[in-house]
Amino acid sequence: MAQRTLLGGVHAVQAAVRHDPTRALEAWVDRRRRDDRLRRVREQLEAVGCPVHESESDALGRLVPGLSHQGVVLAMKGQGPRGDQALAALLDGLEEEPLLLVLDQVQDPHNLGACLRTADAAGVHAVIAPRDRASGLTPVVHRVSAGAASTVPFFQVTNLARCLRNLRDRGIWLVGAAGDGRDSPFTADLRGPLALVLGAEGRGLRRLTREHCDHLLAIPMAGEVESLNVSVATGVLLFEAVRQRQGSPDGRG
C-alpha cells in the first residue's frame, strides 16, 4: 500500500492537485457546505479523477487533528523527504544563479510553513533543513504555507554542516542571520549565488552552522524587541536579496 499524506485546507489541496495530480488518492468534503470555494475544489478534484467522499466536519477534523481543514481533506501518495543527491541534481540543472534558504532546526511547523510561503513568493530555488530536530512537511506546514509546501523544492539533509560545505564548494555564498552579525542586510551584497541561513526559534544558529557561514548579518532593530520571528526574518532577508538581484535605483542591483 502506498504511503499516504493527509492535507487539509482549500489552498493546500488546490496547490497540491495543480502541482502533481497523479499523487491524489481520495478526498473528503464537508457534506453541509455548499459555498463556491468548496465547489471549485471539488470540481478540481473530480477533474483529475480523484474520488471525493462527503463527510461530517467533525470526521474531517479527526483526519487532520488540530488543523483548520476548511471543509476539505486530501489523501496523497506520500513522498519521502528529498536529500543530498536530489539537491545536487537540482543545483546542477539550474540555468541561473541559485537563491537558497537554509533553516537550521526550525521545529515549529507554523514557522516552516510561513517560511515556505515566503520562499515561494521570493522565487527561492530550494529550502534546505536537517532531518533531525526539525519540522518536516506536516499537514500543518501544508496548510500554513498556502500550497507552497507542494511547489517549493524542500530538502532534508542528514548532515547540515556537510551540506553547507558542499554548497560553498559550488561557489555559493553562505550568509547567516545572527543578532551579533557585524553588518546589515541593507548594506551587504546579496547578489550572486546565495544561501541565506537562519536558525531555530529562540536559539538561532548552532555553533557549527555559524562557523560554516561566510558572513553573518543582523537585521537592524529600532525598538525594544531583540529579535524577529524566523519567518519574519526570512521575509526581510529574502526580499532584500530579491531587490538587489533585480536591480534598484541606487545602482547596487
The average pLDDT across 233-249 equals 89
> At 15, is the pLDDT very low, low, confident or very high (cuts 50, 70, 90)?
confident
Please check whether residue 209 is in contact with residue 248, taking contact to mean a CB–CB distance below 8 angstroms.
no
pLDDT for res 80: 65
C-alpha cell, 225: 524587541
110 pLDDT more than 90: yes
Give the residue with greater pLDDT, 20 vs 122: 122
Please check whether residue 214 is in contact with residue 120, taking contact to mean a CB–CB distance below 8 angstroms.
no
Residues 122-157: tens digit of each pLDDT: 999 999 999 888 888 888 888 888 888 888 999 999
> At 67, is the pLDDT very low, low, confident or very high (cuts 50, 70, 90)?
confident
pLDDT for res 98: 97
pLDDT for res 202: 77
Q: pTM score, two decimals? A: 0.83
pLDDT for res 249: 45
In the chain, the domains with their CATH numbers are 4-77 (3.30.1330.30), 84-246 (3.40.1280.10)
Sign of the CA dihedral with 143 first, then 146, 151, and 156 last: negative
Give the residue with greater pLDDT, 225 vs 151: 151
> At 253, is the pLDDT very low, low, confident or very high (cuts 50, 70, 90)?
very low
pLDDT for res 161: 96
Spatial separation of the C-alpha atoms in residues 191 and 172, rounded to whole Å: 11
Burial state string for 2-17 with b = 16 or more CB within 10 A and e = fewer than 16: eeebbbbbbbbbbbbb
Spatial separation of the C-alpha atoms in residues 180 and 54, rounded to whole Å: 54
User: Mean pLDDT score of the chain, rounded to an integer?
Assistant: 90
pLDDT for res 137: 85
Tell me the percentage of the chain whose pLDDT exceeds 90. 66
pLDDT for res 89: 96
Q: Report DSSP state, residue 108.
A: -
211 pLDDT more than 70: yes
Cβ neighbours of 239 (radius 10 Å)? 14
Mean pLDDT check: name the lowest of 18-32, 84-98, 139-153.
139-153
pLDDT for res 242: 97
Residue 157 pairs in a beta bridge with: 130
pLDDT for res 55: 94
Q: How far apart are the first and last CA of the chain?
A: 51
Spatial separation of the C-alpha atoms in residues 214 and 201, rounded to whole Å: 22
Strands (E), 51-160: 52-55, 72-77, 99-104, 126-130, 154-157
The average pLDDT across 177-198 equals 94
pLDDT for res 139: 84
